[in-house]
Structure 1
Amino acid sequence: MQRDPRAFLWDVRESAVAIQSFTVGMDAAAYAANEMAQAAVERKFEIMGEALNQLAKLDATLAARIPDLPQIVAFRNQLIHGYAAVNHSTVWNVIQTSLPPLLACVRSLLQELGEV
């Protein structure tokens, strides 16, 4: 049985909200010094990338409405396969600049499609 495409969007939304909660009150230096926050954030980005990868396979039309989806999946792959060379400054930049618009997009899609 296939998963409802909204479930993948829900996974992205929940992971994005978690990342924001893990990093609230931090700056780049505090994030770089906090190994637990890094591990938690990276895991949530991995979940987001995999959820969007699965969504693209299940519903390409819906997935195409997510800006930068291929880059998000590539970021997930980099975190998993290049784990020894993760640049914490890059991750922090993604949290600050790319995560808020992605979260807004996913929330909008979920509202449009109805919650899971």
Structure 2
Amino acid sequence: MSREVRHFLYDIRQTISIIENATAGKSFADYSGDPILKLGLERAVEIISEASRGIPDDLKTSRPEIPWPKIRGIGNVLRLEYHGLSDKIIWGVIVDEIPKLRLAIEAILRVVEEP
């Protein structure tokens, strides 16, 4: 059975919450010095990337401020070219892009969940 779009959105929202909890009060130095935190956050970004593929284009275009192709692409980079991705890039995604993505996902969920 295929998943409904809301399930992909819930996965993204839950993963964002995990990222927020894991990074609360943390700095780049904390991130770069903690290999378990790094691996966990990289995996969380992979999950978000993969789940974003299940969001239909019409919903994505309703949130043009989100770089959807980059979200999709970073998962491939993490899976296939992980050795070339710097800590600063991932940390930048975490602190700069994840908060914007949370707002967009919440807005899309309101549309999807309308009665």
- For residues 5-24 of structure 1, the aligned pairs below 5 Å read 5-24=5-24
Where 1:3 maps in the other structure, the secondary structure is coil
* 1:109, distance to aligned residue in structure 2 (A): 1.3
Question: How many residues were matched structurally?
Answer: 112
Where 2:107 maps in the other structure, the secondary structure is helix
Higher helix share: 1
Where 1:103 maps in the other structure, the secondary structure is helix
1:31-58 CA-to-partner distances (Å, cap 9, x unmatched) read 0001111111111110100011132xxx
Q: Give the Cα separation in 1 of the matches to 2:76 and 2:13.
A: 19
* 1:84, distance to aligned residue in structure 2 (A): 1.9
Q: Give the Cα separation in 2 of the matches to 1:64 and 1:34.
A: 36
1:80-110 CA-to-partner distances (Å, cap 9, x unmatched) read 1112222111111111111101011101111
* Aligned position for 2:2: 2
In the alignment, structure 2 segments of 5+ residues that lack a partner are none
Aligned-pair identity in percent equals: 28
Question: Stretches of 4+ moved more than 3 A in 1?
Answer: none
Q: Give the Cα separation in 1 of the matches to 2:46 and 2:17.
A: 14
In the alignment, structure 1 segments of 5+ residues that lack a partner are none
CA RMSD in angstroms, aligned pairs only: 1.5
Scaled by the length of structure 1, the TM-score of the pair is 0.88
Q: Give the Cα separation in 2 of the matches to 1:70 and 1:64.
A: 11
Aligned partner (choices 35, 42, 58) of residue 61 of structure 1: 58
Query: Given that residues 52 and 63 in structure 1 are in contact (C-alpha distance below 8 angstroms), is that contact kept between their aligned partners in structure 2?
Result: no
1:4-30 CA-to-partner distances (Å, cap 9, x unmatched) read 111111111111111111111111111
